Chain A
Amino acid sequence: MTRPLLRVEHLTMRFGGLVAINNVSFTAQHGEITALIGPNGAGKTTVFNCITGFYKPTEGRLALQSGDQALWDDLDTLTAGGAKSLRRADGGLFLLERMRDFEVSRDARVARTFQNVRLFQGMTVLENLLVAQHRALMAASGFTILGAIGWAPYRKAEHASIERARLWLDRIGLIDRADDPAGTLPYGAQRRLEVARAMCTEPMLLCLDEPAAGLNHRESAALNDLLMLIRDQDKTSILLIEHDMSVVMEISDHVVVLDYGEKIADGKPAEIRSDQKVIAAYLGVEDEEVDKVAAEVGL
């Protein structure tokens, strides 16, 4: 049985005359790791920026659902109605293309990391994780006013947020560096911290833009374990862009392949591995020439 979390439908993004993404549709399932792969310039990061609200798509619908699956039935009503979202006590249905970037994160609970790490370098590791819990802390502090006068529930919430940060620091092995500035961490640790920071927003969907880039073999294996832990224990679904095929093939449940802004394949990792179109795209040749080129390079 499929339980869609995110539906990308006919997504098109044009920058002036340049078509970065052309009519791409795919679905990410609850509790799965979905990988978005493709050669350089295929439009993967543009898809991410559309999903997370940093770009407004030219055309298409991006729908995210949490809680009751029956909410999907109201999708067309919501689309026609012009509202951004439909919220129920146990979840909601969100049209991401209508939401601003911070609303996608705050309301629809989509967290993301960046291709070139974007930590708050001059703040400590702990502070980075506390900033990520802004939404919860802001509400608990009565929008600052009650918190500033030392309201007890706020102090409790602050304590809880530090405990959550401590939990994540334990998981990513940075508990000893908690009070150091994030800018002084080694690169691999910065990548892990960025994942932890995104997870501190308690997301439904975690979007990772090349999380394994620049990591050595051991760090990459540790990252795989962390992502599987997030999927299985935190029940957070993951959408990731990745070039490192060992990561993609090992941990993803579903793979979507883009090339020149179009979807060329969509399926289980094993199917993608043997897909002629995908191999052709990665080798940069026409479909018919794949066998010849593959023989030449000894694949």
Chain B
Amino acid sequence: MSEALPDRDARPDLIRALREGALAALIAFALFLPLIGFSTVQNMRNEIVLEARWQLLFTLVAVIAGIRFLSTLLLAPWAERRAAAAALTKREVPPNGVAQVWRAMAARWFAPLALGFVIVYPPLVLGLNGFQGAAKWIDNFGIQILIYVMLGWGLNIVVGLAGLLDLGYVAFYAVGAYSYALLAQNFGLSFWLLLPVSGILAAFWGIMLGFPVLRLRGDYLAIVTLAFGEIIRLVLINWVPVTGGYAGISSIPRPTFFGIPFNASDEGFAATFGLPFTPIYRTIFLYYVILALALLTAAVTVRLRRMPIGRAWEALREDEIACRSLGINTTTTKLTAFAIGAAFGGFAGAFFAARQGFISPESFTFMESAVIVAMVVLGGMGSQIGVAIAAVLMIGGTEIMRELDVLKAVFGPDFDPTQYRMLIFGAAMVAITVWRPRGLISTRQPSAFLAERKAISGTLVREGHG
């Protein structure tokens, strides 16, 4: 009979935890032996030889076994006790508890505070790090993250609002970048003129893609959009006379400060304003340009959500057949979502080309599309703040990993944390699907209200089907 009763002795728990840990170690060993245990390296005579990495392999296996052991021994019983306690006290939580007030405060003030922070970010970094150290923080962190925030917000219109899964979004980013690069180089047109042109061209390609795929839904749509992304990339690689193929396009004209170039010449920005020359001015200027572009994307999306077209997008995501029964032309509704999403991708692409000064098909691989889709899904489809947070975590996290020299002390001097980026992405995706299947911010804000704006639980909101 003692079998049936939950045994709270430490001993059986310990044995169970040891068994679980050993099992995890076994699985990890079997999995990692071919993947991590061996590595191919070239020796002096250019021969490829197999090199065993026992230290790394056993470290990882030990870490995994340890985590499993500890989680079985300590974490699982603790979570169980907590769940039991929570079930008991559930009804006693007052409706206006401290936690709820805090949550309401956070929801109210997060966006304005975040906006204030990104506006003062460049001077802040400049003050903390000086001219030499600040460039990295403004460029690699600030501009890089903001480009992805903008891409995430652009794709959010297609995936989050209209519910159309687009796995080839990077194609529009590429169209924007190459439009700017080619037109600026061959015709000498300015950045500010070409920015809208790039957006329009990307929107045009959005419609071109939209037309044939409108009948497709769900997985089929995802596959075709993925293929479209690859087609654009392959065209860029193979159309060598125009795009330069793998070599890409270099020395793309950089944006000017309303006609004043950022260089060391007498007409340059620094000389005009009587400042000592440093490249940081351009970086700061670019930072504010991409910030303005990202905010434009957000503002347009917020505005459109309250317009009939935005409501039609969301209605389309909820139920396409009901939409048609209400006289909504689903074809044009989908096309506008594709076109507007693509236009913002094009803007971001033009900015990317102008910032880098060099572009090649390498920058527009499927990986980029996957990262942008991951940001939208992790952030919570349709939620602007959620997508922005996901972009900061994912892109900022990658950049931070480059800075983590501490890890070299643990894993050896050859350890490069950025190589584990995909592993961490994967783990983050698994974690989010387990704990927050609807993304970081899963509630939906209604676009209109009679008496009171109440957030809608993510469990009611559909994810779209095509």
Q: Are A127 and B304 in contact (CB under 8 A)?
A: no
Given contacts A127-B311, A134-B311, contact A178 B451 (CB under 8 A): yes
Chain A residues near B456 (CB-CB < 8 A):
122-124, 181
Counting chain A residues whose Cβ lies within 8 A of the other chain, the interface size class is: 35 or more
Chain B residues near A267 (CB-CB < 8 A):
none
CB < 8 Å neighbour of A138 from B308, B314, B315, B460: B308
A40, CB-defined interface residue at 8 Å = no
Additional pairs, 6, CB under 8 Å, beyond known A162-B450, A179-B450, A181-B457: A120-B314, A120-B322, A123-B456, A148-B307, A179-B454, A183-B460
B321, CB-defined interface residue at 8 Å = yes
Give CA–CA (A131, B311) in the complex, Å. 6
A71, CB-defined interface residue at 8 Å = no
What 0/1 readout, one digit per residue, does chain B (423-466) give for beta carbons within 8 Å of chain A? Answer: 00000000000000000000010111111111011001110000
Q: Are B309 and A138 in contact (CB under 8 A)?
A: yes
What 0/1 readout, one digit per residue, does chain A (210-227) give for beta carbons within 8 Å of chain B? Answer: 000000000000000000
Chain B residues near A179 (CB-CB < 8 A):
446, 449-454
Give CA–CA (A118, B320) in the complex, Å. 10
Q: Shortest CB–CB separation between residue A290 and chain B, in angstroms?
A: 38
Using a Cβ–Cβ cut-off of 8 Å, how many residues does chain B contribute to the interface with A? 38
11 pairs from A and B in contact (CB 8 Å cutoff): A54-B324, A106-B327, A120-B319, A122-B461, A123-B318, A132-B326, A134-B327, A147-B308, A148-B304, A179-B450, A201-B327
Q: Shortest CB–CB separation between residue A129 and chain B, in angstroms?
A: 10
Q: Are A106 and B457 in contact (CB under 8 A)?
A: no
Interface of B toward A, CB cutoff 8 Å: 300, 303-304, 307-309, 311-312, 314-315, 318-319, 321-330, 336, 444, 446-454, 456-457, 460-462
Q: Are A201 and B303 in contact (CB under 8 A)?
A: no
Q: Are B312 and A131 in contact (CB under 8 A)?
A: yes
Q: Are A118 and B321 in contact (CB under 8 A)?
A: yes
Given contacts A122-B456, A130-B311, contact A114 B450 (CB under 8 A): no
Chain A residues near B447 (CB-CB < 8 A):
127, 130
Chain B residues near A69 (CB-CB < 8 A):
none
Given contacts A102-B330, A179-B450, contact A114 B325 (CB under 8 A): yes
Q: Are B318 and A162 in contact (CB under 8 A)?
A: no
CB < 8 Å neighbour of A144 from B307, B318, B322, B328: B307
Q: Are A134 and B308 in contact (CB under 8 A)?
A: yes
Q: Are A121 and B462 in contact (CB under 8 A)?
A: yes
Given contacts A179-B446, A181-B460, contact A201 B326 (CB under 8 A): yes
CB < 8 Å neighbour of A141 from B308, B318, B325: B308
Q: Are B325 and A134 in contact (CB under 8 A)?
A: no
Q: How many A-B residue pairs have CB under 8 A?
A: 134
CB < 8 Å neighbour of A162 from B315, B322, B324, B448: B448
Give CA–CA (A166, B450) in the complex, Å. 8
Given contacts A120-B319, A148-B307, contact A126 B449 (CB under 8 A): yes
Give CA–CA (A191, B312) in the complex, Å. 21
Q: Are A52 and B325 in contact (CB under 8 A)?
A: yes
Chain A residues near B319 (CB-CB < 8 A):
118-121
CB < 8 Å neighbour of A122 from B321, B329, B462: B462
Give CA–CA (A107, B327) in the complex, Å. 8
What 0/1 readout, one digit per residue, does chain A (108-120) give for beta carbons within 8 Å of chain B? Answer: 0001101000111
Give CA–CA (A134, B452) in the complex, Å. 23
Chain B residues near A137 (CB-CB < 8 A):
308
Q: Are A122 and B444 in contact (CB under 8 A)?
A: yes
A244, CB-defined interface residue at 8 Å = no
Quick one: which of A124-157 are within 8 Å of B by CB?
124, 126-127, 130-135, 137-138, 141, 144, 147-148
Q: Are A134 and B307 in contact (CB under 8 A)?
A: no
3 A-B pairs closest in CB distance: A122-B461, A106-B327, A105-B327
A77, CB-defined interface residue at 8 Å = no
**Residue of chain B at shortest CB distance from A52:** B325
Give CA–CA (A36, B307) in the complex, Å. 38
Give CA–CA (A11, B310) in the complex, Å. 38
Chain B residues near A52 (CB-CB < 8 A):
325
Given contacts A121-B318, A137-B308, A179-B451, contact A102 B446 (CB under 8 A): no
Q: Shortest CB–CB separation between residue B282 and chain A, in angstroms?
A: 33
A246, CB-defined interface residue at 8 Å = no
CB < 8 Å neighbour of B315 from A102, A131, A198: A131
A59, CB-defined interface residue at 8 Å = no
Interface-centre pick from A126, A138, A162, A169 (highest chain B CB count, 10 A): A138
Give CA–CA (A107, B271) in the complex, Å. 64
A9, CB-defined interface residue at 8 Å = no
Give CA–CA (A106, B326) in the complex, Å. 7
Give CA–CA (A45, B217) in the complex, Å. 25
Given contacts A120-B314, A122-B444, A131-B315, contact A112 B325 (CB under 8 A): yes
CB < 8 Å neighbour of B309 from A103, A105, A144, A184: A144
Q: Shortest CB–CB separation between residue B157 and chain A, in angstroms?
A: 13
Q: Are A111 and B451 in contact (CB under 8 A)?
A: no
**Residue of chain A at shortest CB distance from B455:** A181
A197, CB-defined interface residue at 8 Å = yes
Give CA–CA (A54, B326) in the complex, Å. 12
**Residue of chain A at shortest CB distance from B446:** A124
A101, CB-defined interface residue at 8 Å = yes
**Residue of chain A at shortest CB distance from B329:** A102
Interface-centre pick from B312, B456, B461 (highest chain A CB count, 10 A): B456
Chain A residues near B315 (CB-CB < 8 A):
120, 123, 131
Give CA–CA (A103, B327) in the complex, Å. 6
Chain B residues near A131 (CB-CB < 8 A):
311-312, 315, 323, 326, 328
A180, CB-defined interface residue at 8 Å = yes
Q: Shortest CB–CB separation between residue A100 and chain B, in angstroms?
A: 8
**Residue of chain A at shortest CB distance from B312:** A134
Quick one: which of A159-183 are within 8 Å of B by CB?
162, 166, 169, 175, 178-181, 183
Give CA–CA (A101, B312) in the complex, Å. 16
Q: Are B446 and A127 in contact (CB under 8 A)?
A: yes
Quick one: which of A186-212 are within 8 Å of B by CB?
197-198, 201
Given contacts A122-B318, A131-B312, contact A111 B325 (CB under 8 A): yes
Chain A residues near B448 (CB-CB < 8 A):
124, 126-127, 130, 162
**Residue of chain B at shortest CB distance from A109:** B327
CB < 8 Å neighbour of B318 from A120, A130, A148: A120
Quick one: which of A81-111 are within 8 Å of B by CB?
101-103, 105-107, 111
Chain B residues near A119 (CB-CB < 8 A):
319, 322
Chain B residues near A180 (CB-CB < 8 A):
454
Given contacts A120-B315, A179-B446, contact A102 B327 (CB under 8 A): yes
Q: Are B322 and A105 in contact (CB under 8 A)?
A: no
Interface-centre pick from B312, B318, B329, B447 (highest chain A CB count, 10 A): B318
Chain A residues near B444 (CB-CB < 8 A):
122
